[in-house]
Amino acid sequence: MNIINILRRAATALANLPDASPQLEAELLLTEVTGWARTTQRAWPKRELDAVAVARFEQLLARRLHGEPIAYIRGRQAFWTFELQVSPATLIPRPETEQLIEIALELLESTASLRIADLGTGSGAIAAALATERRNWQLLAVERSPAALALAVQNFQMLKLNNVAALCGDWLGSVATASLDAVVSNPPYIPNADGHLTRGDLRFEPLTALTAGDDGLTAIRAILCEINRCVRNGGFIAMEHGFNQGAAVRQLFAAHELERIETHCDLNGLERITLGYRPRANNRSNS
């Protein structure tokens, strides 16, 4: 069987899978089997595959048709300017999370020696992106799952990042007092009974990295309970949350005496990231 025929058959089958990108995914699976780049596949569409390659391709395609995320099948996912190793122990990094990185890069002084924590780092996506862009910043990647943290460390090593430290712990509980200039986090925020958990990629991702109590805010509350202890005066926290949680998160931020609270919308116009600052020392003394 040649390239064009196997891709055509696979794309036709994948067209029946909700939220799939049939042609792209077929090409990615073929790359996994053969090592041939997608440009090579297009340049040599009549190139023949041997029986072993065809059988392996059919195995991977069957996994995808069963609904398994292509990132888990390939073992990696593109994020920011690189690819990260991923596994069922970690969430699959998503494009909307890149907005957290953009906010931090915009608001934090680029030339300063800052210390920023990425809470619930998973595959290490946020910490790796910030460490890549700002080699003078020190990133603390915190994760309570040993398996996820081990994979994050592999990603940091693969990207040759020497300005990231990994910490196995529960949010800010093991972080030193007044040690951070900022916190960025994509914590679990889906309510336990949310119907989306039984659909699409979420069926395969770790529940502990997705769900956070009946209202989805348990992890956010836990982080905020320690925020004033760990973040220095004038520092900030930026946190991703559900599209319908903006008002509740802003209330929680205000209840913990954060200031200049604002919520940023994603590309679909949905509230996605809330930001708040710790008051500066002189502000607190005057209040």
Residue 286 is predicted with a pLDDT of 43
Quick one: 273 and 160 in the same domain?
yes
- Residue 276 host element (H or E): strand 271-277
Token pair 């040690």 in the structure block, residue: 179
Show the tokens assigned to 131.
């460490």
Read off φ and ψ for residue 63, nearest 5 degrees: -65, -40
Residues 6 or more apart whose Cβ sits within 8 Å of residue 198 = none
Work out the pLDDT band at 285, boundaries 50, 70, 90.
Answer: very low
Quick one: 40 and 97 in the same domain?
no
Work out the pLDDT band at 19, boundaries 50, 70, 90.
Answer: confident
**Tally of domains in the chain:** 2
**Closest-CA residue to 68 (of 92, 93, 49, 52):** 92
Quick one: 17 and 149 in the same domain?
no
Quick one: 54 and 99 in the same domain?
no
Could you give the 3-state DSSP secondary structure of residue 130?
helix
CA 170 and chain centroid, separation: 17
Work out the pLDDT band at 196, boundaries 50, 70, 90.
Answer: confident
Q: Provide the mean pLDDT of the chain.
A: 95
Residues 6 or more apart whose Cβ sits within 8 Å of residue 103 = 184, 238, 264, 273, 275
**Closest-CA residue to 47 (of 101, 6, 84):** 6
Question: How many angstroms separate the CA atoms of 33 and 37, rounded?
Answer: 11
Read off φ and ψ for residue 143, nearest 5 degrees: -155, 135
Quick one: 37 and 91 in the same domain?
no
Per-residue pLDDT tens digits for 47-74: 999 999 999 999 999 999 999 999 999 9
Token pair 């994603």 in the structure block, residue: 266
**For the domain that residue 196 is a member of, what is the CATH number?**
3.40.50.150
Quick one: 218 and 266 in the same domain?
yes
> What domain range includes position 82?
76-286
* Average pLDDT of span 174-196: 96
Quick one: 245 and 179 in the same domain?
yes
Quick one: 207 and 249 in the same domain?
yes
Work out the pLDDT band at 111, boundaries 50, 70, 90.
Answer: very high
Per the CB < 8 A criterion, the answer to whether 53 and 30 are in contact is no
Please check the confidence at residue 282 and state whether its pLDDT lies above 70: no
Please report, as a single letter, which amino acid is at residue 198.
T
Question: How many angstroms separate the CA atoms of 271 and 287, rounded?
Answer: 30
Question: How many angstroms separate the CA atoms of 43 and 51, rounded?
Answer: 21
Question: How many angstroms separate the CA atoms of 220 and 214, rounded?
Answer: 13
- Final residue in a domain of this structure, among 26, 46, 67: 67
Residue 70 is predicted with a pLDDT of 95
- Final residue in a domain of this structure, among 32, 49, 67: 67
- Final residue in a domain of this structure, among 39, 67, 95: 67
